[in-house]
Amino acid sequence: MANDTIKGLSVNAKTLILILLFVNVGFASKMLSQYYKMKEAGYVREKTFQEQLEQRVMKAFGSMEELNKMVADITHQREEAEKLAESFKSQGEQLKFTNKRLEDAKTKLEEEKARLQKEIWEREDALSEAKKMISNKDTTIQELGNRLETVEKENELLKKQLEEQAKIPGEWSIPPQ
């Protein structure tokens, strides 16, 4: 046996290596077959899922063409919705601009309103002053009218007195004042 160990490995070691090699090859083949079985099962599962989905579609829509038609319609509606959203966005920007202009106009109108209100109050004050002046002038005119009446009455009296004195020829005198 010493001869055998010198030339290489012993028979026991060679047998052990050979057994381990067969075990490894057996394990590897077992793992490969298990891998292929799992791959096949996954494919079958995926295939059955797709078949089930197609059956559901067939039950729901009647045919794949109808489903494709519906998908195309939904896609078209989505594109239209995106266009509408873009349109709404641009309209929103226009509305913002218009709102800004309206706010500016509103501010200007408020300023104009305040200015006009101030002018109205000034004119009302002037009108009330004018009314006071007119009422004062009315009272003054009335007083002057009353004085005029008294002066006219006095003139009438004086005329009567002059006429009476003119009737008397001898006495000419100036009436006392």
Q: Where are the beta strands (DSSP E) in the chain?
A: none
Q: Decide if 39 is inside a domain.
A: yes
pLDDT in tens, 19-76: 999 899 989 998 998 888 887 777 666 677 777 777 777 777 666 777 778 788 889 8
Q: Which comes out higher in pLDDT, residue 156 or 9?
A: 156
Q: What does DSSP assign to residue 170?
A: S
Tokens coding 30: 């077992």
Q: Which residue shows structure tokens 């641009």?
A: 90
Within-domain flag for 95: no
Range of the domain at 47: 8-62
Q: What is the mean pLDDT of residues 145-159?
A: 91
Domain count, the chain: 1
Q: Is residue 127 part of a domain?
A: no
Mean pLDDT value across the chain: 84
Whether residue 38 lies inside any domain: the answer is yes
33 domain residue, yes or no: yes
Residue 39, token pair as written in the block? 């791959």
**30 inside domain:** yes
Q: For 73-139, list the strands marked E by DSSP.
A: none
pLDDT score at 173: 59
pLDDT tens for residues 76-111? 899 999 999 999 999 999 999 999 999 999 999 999
- 146: its two tokens: 């009353």
Q: What's the pTM?
A: 0.37
